[in-house]
Every structure is written in C-alpha cells, then in structure tokens.
Amino acid sequence: MATIVDGTAGVNIPSTGYVGTSATGALIMPAGTTGQRPTAVTGMVRYNSTTNSAEYYNGSAWVTTFYGVPPATVDYLVVAGGGGGGDGRGGAGGAGGFRTATGFSVAAGVSIAVTVGAGGAGSTSQNTRGTSGGDSVFSTITSTGGGGGASSGSGGTNGANGGSGGGSTIDGTNTPGTGVSGQGFAGGSGGSNNGYGAGGGGGASAVGVNGTTTAGGNGGAGTSSSLSGGAVTYAGGGGGGAYGNGGASPAGTGGAGGGGAGSLTSTVATAGTANTGGGGGGGGYDASPGAGGNGGSGVVILRYPDSYAAATTTGSPTTTVAGGYRIYTWTTTGSGTITF
C-alpha cells in the first residue's frame, strides 16, 4: 500500500500503482494553484493549475516536471546558403540570410517544415554572375539565400540581391547587391580602372568592403550564435577577386563566419565554409580568368529545455542534449520536419 498526503489526511491506494479495476485506469493527482500548495512533505506530487504541469517536492523546493510534455516555445537559428562568387576579377558572393530568436511558439503534434539551403555555384564565365544561395526555412521563418557576385565580362553583371548582397566589379558599370533587412548587408563596389579589385560580399553584421585599384574588398563579417552549445560565427561574406596580372594585389579575404577568400590568379577562388552560409570568394585574373568560389550551405538549429519531451524528426538532424537543452541541428541540404 502507498499513502497520498494532502496536508491534513492520508489515503491508502493499492501498491499496483493505479486506482480502478484494471491497469487501464488512472490516478487523478490533487490539483490547485501555486498559492494553494499544501504544507510540503518530501515526495509530494500534485498538479499545479497555475503552471499547467505536474510538480513534486524534493525536500527543499517544489520542482516542475515536464517528462512527456512537449515544449510550448523553441529557440531557432536559420542560416541560408551563401552566394557563389563571380568570375575573373569577380565580385564575391554574399552571405546567406541570418535569422535567430528565442521563444518561438510551437503547437504539439503539428509537423513543421525544415529546409537547409544549398550554397550557390561560383561563376565559370565572365558574362555570368555567381548563383545565389538557396533559402533555409523553419516554419514561418525564411532566411534568404546570399546574392551571387558579379563577373567582369563585357558589360559586366550586377551583384545579386539576397540575404546579404553579392559584390560588384568594374566600378561604374555594375552595382553590388543589397541585403534583406534583419538578415544581412549589401555587397561592396568594385574599384575603378577596369575593376582591378572587386567588391566583397555582404555579411550578416557588415557590408562588403569596396575593392580598389590596389586590392580586392574583404567580405562583411558574420554574426556569432551559441545555439549549438558553443559560440560559432555564421554568414560571413566572400572576399573580392583581384587582377594579378599587373593590377591589384592582394585579393579580398573572407568575412568571419565562413566567407571564402578571393583569388588573385586564374585558380578557382575559395568556397564558403559548409553549414555557415558563407559567401564564395570572387575569381581572380592573370593570364586568364579564374572561376568564383561556391557559397557555403546553410544550417537550421532548434533548441528547448531538456526537461521537455524529445521531438520526432525527419531529414536526419543531429540531436544532442547539453547545457540543459535538447538541440536539433540540420546540416544536410534539403528538407525535413520536426513534430513536438
């Protein structure tokens, strides 16, 4: 037999652990508001109608238990794929859009879409800019892919708009792309004198640096987040390409947060780092044009206190429990779901 105490009296119940004629019955716990808690005894269990959760007394305090209960809110980080860099003194790719917040409301039992955006392809033609990155999505939150960087062919191409904008080249002929408010910043402009130094891609925290006649522009800096369990910087813009054949030197460096470096020669520029949304570097030029670097893929991270029940997922996220949180991280390009 066991005893339930309500502060004034004890009631014996069978040691089988349920009340009724079969194991399909249930025990209704005493219920009341926080202010109606009884004089506490270690081991007491009750339903708190103020917090809408079960609680127990551990000998020194009332402790809420959420075992088996889904969370009402989650924290999120949604980073889109970075843009690809331009070809031959090319503007750099802009970083993927960066969005993060706490306390996002979710409903129990409802499947929520998750999409990780791919990085954009770097350009291999002077008349075609780099491809913009893919959008990343969680529920109603969409982060926009980074803009592709401009290439330096006849007439040039503008840097594309995106989460952060792609850089431009050949100043006065084309323009850098703009960023989405709250997600990233514009790309940088190319230098004069036939674009010897192309503009850097925009980042989540700063615009891309303008190229000059002596150097490619650096990528705009990204933004740090600790949602994964440790501080990581995401969404840095790529560095602008430069003209190594008697022109600008050096090429631009990638912005903190996975931005790829620009090239000074005909070699392919550096790609943005995978799962950071970093922009690809702009291609250089010596005896021949160099291709732009690919943008880095995006990432989606969700977390909530580990006192709540585990969620059901698709899309093969990595699941960890650390620092008092359940953390779900999608890194593979494509779609998945989560149900709380």
At 169, the pLDDT band (50, 70, 90 cuts) reads: confident
Are residues 159 and 199 in contact, defined by beta-carbon separation less than 8 angstroms?
Answer: yes
pLDDT tens for each residue of 225-263: 999 999 999 999 999 999 888 777 899 999 999 999 999
Output the six-digit token pair for 144.
């926009």
Contacts of 55 by beta carbon, 8 Å cutoff, 6+ apart: 45, 46, 47, 48, 62, 63, 64, 65
Q: Residue 234: how many CA atoms within 13 Å on its side-chain side?
A: 32
Is residue 175 within 8 Å of 183, Cβ to Cβ? no
Residue 286 is encoded by which pair of tokens? 């010596």
Instruction: Write the pLDDT tens digit of every residue in 191-221.
Output: 876 658 999 999 999 999 999 888 999 999 9
pLDDT at 47: 83
* pLDDT score of 174 more than 90: no
Most confident of 2-16, 50-64, 213-227: 213-227
pLDDT at position 3, please? 45
- How far apart are alpha carbons 23 and 25 in whole angstroms? 5
pLDDT at 27: 75
SS (H, E, C) 18-61: CCCCCCCCCCCCCEECHHHCCCCCCCCEEEECCCCEEEEECCCC
205 DSSP assignment: S
Exposure string of 204-218, with b = 16+ CB inside 10 Å and e = fewer, is bbbbbbbbbbebbbb
193 three-class SS: helix
Q: Using alpha carbons, select from 232, 219, 195 the residue that is nearest to residue 279.
A: 219
Nearest one of 156, 169, 32 to 91, comparing CA atoms: 169
Give 57-76 pLDDT, tens digit per residue.
888 887 666 566 889 999 99
User: What pLDDT score was predicted for residue 249?
Assistant: 82
Residue 195's Cβ-count burial label (10 Å; 0-12, 13-18, 19+) is buried
Mean pLDDT of the chain: 89
Query: How do residues 266-305 score in pLDDT, each as one tens digit?
Result: 999 999 999 999 999 999 999 899 999 999 999 999 999 9
1 pLDDT more than 70: no
Average pLDDT over residues 7-25: 50
Higher pLDDT, 71 or 309: 71
Query: What pLDDT, in 10s, does the model give residues 75-127?
Result: 999 999 999 999 989 999 999 999 999 999 999 999 999 999 999 999 999 88
Q: Count the neighbouring beta carbons within 10 Å of the beta carbon of residue 62.
A: 15
In this predicted structure, what is the pLDDT of residue 4? 45
pLDDT of residue 244: 85
pTM: 0.82
Which pLDDT value is given to residue 65? 64
